[in-house]
Structure 1
Amino acid sequence: MTTVGPAPTLLELLDLERIDRDLFRACTVFEEEHALFGGQVAAQALLAAGRTVPEDRAPHSLHGYYLRGGHSSRPTVFQVHRDRDGRSFTARRVVAIQDGEVIFNMAASFAVDQGGPDTSVDPVPEAPDPDTLPGAPVPRVFGFEGRTVRTQPGAREFPIRYWTRCTEPLADEPLVHASALTYISDMFGAFPPVRGGVPGPSLDHALWFHRPVRADDWMLIDLVPRSAAGGRNWYTGTLHDRAGRHVASLTQECLFREPRS
């Protein structure tokens, strides 16, 4: 990534200006050669939604659609719609706007912690301790470091199992940690080893937050390709903390087709 001027920090990216009751603006801008990173706009949208929710409710899921390519050199405005405020759950919709056009929309749900059974069925993916692994670059993101455990076989050796954490200390606020996790969850991808398919832009992204997590401590992300058809690729992923707790799950779909001649 090429930026002009000092690179922003993650906390600067998550510092939203409140314009009105349900209207926010991300004012930190920078120049880069690619379209606006999808994880950034998703994290900012979740944070905007959470700023309209009572503090006793943390995000438990989000579903977003990337509609147009945004620009990192322009501010993004986030309009929040208050769909429902129940006794246990709160629902919000967010529209991200640049130059009068919607570039991303999201539905997010927040919940009060109600206790109950706490179990995970699938085993924790095998991975060495992150402190024993060499550092690995995490392109296109600010404030995160990585440790690769496994790369995707084939010509495109993207990391599909890797440790990552935010290098900036984060406040003890579940919404901030969930937003930071959302930011990094859009990095990399998992693709089937077939000929003719080239990864393209993200189309949609979903996250489920199962348990509290600190994004400034090591998280293990494990991505698995599931299906490629109709010019689209779909994969799933899990996130575990260093203690082995399953803290979040994700699914994502992106373009996956031969380049246009």
Structure 2
Amino acid sequence: MTDMDEGVARLLEILDLERIEENLFRGVSPVQSWQRVFGGQVIAQALVAAQRTVDPERQVHSLHGYFMRPGDPKVPIVYDVDRIRDGGSFTTRRVVAIQHGAAIFSLSASFQRHEEGLVHQAAMPEVPHPDALPHGAELAAMLLDRAPEPVQRYWRRPRPIEFRPVSFAHYLTTDKLEPVQQIWVRALSDIGNDPALNAAVLAYLSDMTLLDTALFAHGLSVFDAGIQAASLDHSMWFHRPVKVSDWLLYAQDSPSSSGGRGLTRGSLFALDGALVASVAQEGLIRPRRPAPENQASA
């Protein structure tokens, strides 16, 4: 991973927000995008906007966001930062992402000056090393050639993050499975050691694959045409310094689904077993409602 991957370069460009006023920033989406803005992009851009109003000595330790409306990838997003508090040890910011005159996402983030303290963590699951897992042509032969077309389209799409799933069972069956998955992830190029940028890219990738875990118990997937799925909220806690160009194990599980919503949790571990971040997300997962007859016939 010596030369800068094109996808990583584009990601760094969209995270380099334009400052349009003291607490106002503007971000754009990739030219080739989905019909709506990827949630991880909005989380990461909102975090960058907050970071740019905070002393660099203070790094993000937690964020909590709510998705309100789908983002339009064709127009810029304005990020309005509210400097809520600058304390002796902690700094608090609130960010509202705006498109077409309406809020599409809100973020609260807290930053802390580095300090020493008591240390403990959960153990990393025992899984194969990423180098022992299929990838590239081998992964395509095992997974893509047998997977449904929407799965193939998703996995063949160029992206700045490399994935190496420990198991592929949920992509190849409609059986009800335990709502657990482990995926090795990393940026396709080295982005350097800037802790703020590494945290932003970690926030970006944290929204990938997570919600799907809640559907394993039902033999379903976010790729199923009959399922309406969307992130509702997203929380992260940053425990230790991270370098996203190195392999990270994203261990995920879903403790509950009810009321048309699924709750998922994730733990991100470095190769040496250090727990670098924790994630929780609730998402909409419900059968897609049929269109009214007058719309269906249009």
The verdict on a shared fold, with TM-score over 0.5 as the criterion, is yes
Q: Structure 1: how far apart are the matches of 2:241 and 2:92?
A: 19
Q: Structure 2: how far apart are the matches of 1:14 and 1:70?
A: 16
Q: Indicate the residue corresponding to 1:237 in structure 2.
A: 266
Q: Which stretch has the larger CA shift, 79-88 or 142-151?
A: 142-151
Q: Indicate the residue corresponding to 1:194 in structure 2.
A: 218
Distance apart, 1:171 and its partner CA? 3.0
Distance apart, 1:128 and its partner CA? 1.2
Distance apart, 1:151 and its partner CA? 4.3
Distance apart, 1:105 and its partner CA? 0.4
After TM superposition, list the pairs within 5 Å mapping 1:37-76 onto structure 2: 37-76=38-77
Q: Structure 2: how far apart are the matches of 1:74 and 1:9?
A: 17
Distance apart, 1:172 and its partner CA? 2.0
Q: Report the TM-score when normalising by structure 2.
A: 0.79
Report Cα offsets for 1:78-107 as digits up to 9, x if no partner. Answer: 010000000100000000011211110000
Q: Structure 1: how far apart are the matches of 2:269 and 2:198?
A: 14
Distance apart, 1:174 and its partner CA? 0.8
Cα 1:170–1:33, aligned 2, differ >3 Å: closer, same or farther?
closer
How many residue pairs match? The answer is: 255
Cα 1:207–1:144, aligned 2, differ >3 Å: closer, same or farther?
same
Distance apart, 1:258 and its partner CA? 1.7
| Structure index of larger Rg | 2
Report Cα offsets for 1:161-200 as digits up to 9, x if no partner. Answer: 1111111221321110010000000011211513789351
Report % sequence identity.
42
Q: Indicate the residue corresponding to 1:35 in structure 2.
A: 36
Letter in 1 for 2:73: S
Q: Which stretch has the larger CA shift, 16-25 or 133-142?
A: 133-142
Q: Indicate the residue corresponding to 1:211 in structure 2.
A: 240
Cα 1:152–1:160, aligned 2, differ >3 Å: closer, same or farther?
farther
What SS class does the counterpart of residue 285 from structure 2 fall into? strand
Unaligned runs of 5+ in 1: 1-5
Query: Of Structure 1 and Structure 2, which has the larger fraction of its residues in strand?
Result: 1
Q: Structure 2: how far apart are the matches of 1:221 and 1:60?
A: 18
Q: CA contact under 8 A between 1:151 and 1:160: conserved in structure 2?
A: no
Q: CA RMSD in A?
A: 2.3
**Within the alignment, does 1:131 sit opposite 2:131 as a pair?**
yes
Q: Structure 2: how far apart are the matches of 1:19 and 1:77?
A: 9
After TM superposition, list the pairs within 5 Å mapping 1:177-188 onto structure 2: 177-188=198-209
Distance apart, 1:33 and its partner CA? 3.8
Letter in 1 for 2:174: A
What SS class does the counterpart of residue 35 from structure 2 fall into? coil
Distance apart, 1:74 and its partner CA? 1.4
Query: Of Structure 1 and Structure 2, which has the larger fraction of its residues in helix?
Result: 2
Report Cα offsets for 1:129-160 as digits up to 9, x if no partner. Answer: 11222226757773111111134645289992
What SS class does the counterpart of residue 9 from structure 1 fall into? helix
Q: Indicate the residue corresponding to 1:3 in structure 2.
A: none
After TM superposition, list the pairs within 5 Å mapping 1:69-84 onto structure 2: 69-84=70-85
Q: CA contact under 8 A between 2:95 and 2:107: conserved in structure 1?
A: yes
